[in-house]
Amino acid sequence: MNAPTSAAVQGEVVGRPRRLSDVFHCGHRSRRMYLATCLDDYMNANALRVKSMVCHDCTQGADNRETFAADADTEGALDAEIWGRLIADLGEGDVKPPKKK
């Protein structure tokens, strides 16, 4: 059996990252980062047209977004990671119990 590579041990993705928790090397920032951070920064820089951000018009960010979206589309539903994050962001205090009749 082959020993795992250092990238696999450290959780770094060799190909395109697909999960929000995947870690990859960002060429523009010259550091390792989570896909979730990349997507957030890429979307904010481009949606708000902040040309001073390194993420504005980033080809690696665009590829990551395309890969992530295509992966979600092929599964036919949002990734469990996304649902978990959305539910966690809602918080328990926001849910009101139904009224009794």
Kindly report the pTM of this predicted structure: 0.60
Q: What is the largest CA-CA distance in the chain?
A: 64
Question: How many whole angstroms separate alpha carbon 4 and alpha carbon 7?
Answer: 8
User: 17-43, pLDDT tens digit by residue?
Assistant: 888 888 999 999 999 999 999 999 999
Looking at per-residue pLDDT, the higher value among 14 and 1 belongs to 14
Question: How many whole angstroms separate alpha carbon 93 and alpha carbon 47?
Answer: 31
Question: How many whole angstroms separate alpha carbon 83 and alpha carbon 96?
Answer: 19
Give the pair of three-digit tokens for residue 32.
């390792």
User: 38-92, pLDDT tens digit by residue?
Assistant: 999 999 999 999 999 999 999 999 999 998 888 765 554 556 666 677 777 776 5
H-helix or E-strand spanning residue 25: strand 23-26
